[in-house]
């Protein structure tokens, strides 16, 4: 079983739409969770960390459900510039190993 | 701003050549990582290091070795390059428990 699983998509949504991505993880001892964004032919960039209480950064909201072992990313009022691949990442309980999902592709359409 | 740099953006090598990929970070991070990324397979961990001179195998270490002589520098070595090592190679660094920061990647082609 994979450490982290994501729906690969693709998600094609119109500008202004709200879109949500989910990701499940297998190790209940995992301590840290992140969402990364990767543009075509570029490196992944840290979008936001995910905290137990949930956290928001502008149009982006991340949530963690430890009981069900999943994390989510919600993007409100989608912009064309949000088009990218979004990677779910889970860190080990030691904090020095990271497990990546294969990514979810998002295209925002005018 | 965290900066992770990689020695080359693009590299073309011949089968059997020895290849060195170098990564430098300027944030005093203790952890450094080498991944390769291939279409449909996502990011796969080759090796990581949590301290100077320390290294741990990742998921796909075969055909690779690493060196970490200084905290800021982590090198990936392909002892004898093969065509199936054609890939995008990404270096990352982090503090434990904090997210990773990636370099721009090296697109390696082995012919």
CA-to-CA distance for A88 and A100, rounded, in angstroms?
6
> Which distant-in-sequence residues (6+ apart) come within 8 Å of A29 by Cβ?
A92, A93
Chain A nearest-CA distance from B37, in A, is 10
Tokens 């660094």: give the residue.
B93
C-beta atoms of B101 and A101 within 8 A? no
Higher pLDDT, A37 or A7: A37
CA-to-CA distance for B111 and B92, rounded, in angstroms?
26
Q: Pairing mode, if any, of strands A4-6 and A70-75?
A: unpaired
Q: Which A residues 59-88 touch B at CB under 8 Å?
A: 87
* Of residues B41, B45, B104, nearest to A43 (C-beta): B104
C-beta atoms of B104 and A101 within 8 A? no
Chain B residue nearest residue A90, CA to CA: B99
Q: Can you say whether residue A86 is alpha, beta or left, with left for phi > 0 and alpha for psi between -120 and 50 degrees?
A: beta
Contact list in A for residue B33 (CB cut-off 8 A) is 98
Q: CB B63: neighbour CB atoms within 10 A?
A: 14
Q: What is the 3-state secondary structure (H, E, C) of chain B?
A: CCCEEECCCEEEECCCCCEEEEEEECCCCCEEEEEEEECCCEEEEEEEECCCCCCEECCCCCCEEEEEEECCEEEEEECCCCHHHCEEEEEEEECCCCCCEECCCEEEEEC
Chain A nearest-CA distance from B81, in A, is 22
C-beta atoms of A43 and B41 within 8 A? no
- Say what the pLDDT of residue A94 is: 78
The two tokens of residue B6 are 């990689």
List the pLDDT tens digit at each of the 111 positions of chain B. 669 999 999 999 999 999 999 999 999 999 999 999 998 888 999 999 999 999 999 999 999 999 999 999 999 999 999 999 999 999 999 987 788 999 999 999 999
C-beta atoms of A91 and B103 within 8 A? no
Out of A54-58, A90-94, B55-59, B67-71, least confident range: A90-94
**Tens digits of residue pLDDT in A66-87:** 999 999 999 999 999 999 999 9
């Amino acid at each position: 079983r994979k450490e982290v699983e994501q729906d690969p998509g693709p998600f094609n949504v119109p500008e202004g739409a709200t879109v949500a991505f989910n990701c499940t993880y297998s190790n209940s001892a995992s301590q840290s969770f992140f969402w990364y964004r990767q543009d075509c032919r570029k490196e992944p960039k840290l979008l936001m960390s995910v905290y137990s209480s949930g956290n928001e950064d502008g149009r982006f909201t991340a949530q963690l459900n430890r009981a069900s072992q999943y994390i989510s990313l919600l993007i409100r009022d989608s912009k064309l510039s949000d088009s990218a691949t979004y990677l779910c990442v889970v860190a080990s309980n030691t904090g020095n190993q990271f497990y990546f999902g294969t990514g979810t592709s998002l295209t925002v359409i005018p | 701003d965290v900066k992770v740099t990689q020695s080359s953006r693009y590299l073309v090598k011949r089968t059997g050549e020895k290849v060195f990929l170098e990564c430098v970070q300027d944030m005093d991070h203790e952890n450094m990582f080498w991944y390769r990324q291939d279409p449909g397979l996502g990011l796969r961990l080759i090796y990581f290091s949590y301290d100077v001179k320390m290294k741990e195998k990742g998921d796909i270490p075969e055909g690779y070795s690493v060196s970490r002589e200084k905290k800021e520098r982590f090198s990936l070595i392909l002892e004898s390059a093969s065509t199936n090592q054609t890939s995008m190679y990404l270096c990352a660094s982090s503090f434990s428990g904090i997210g990773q920061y990636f370099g721009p990647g090296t697109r390696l082609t082995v012919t």
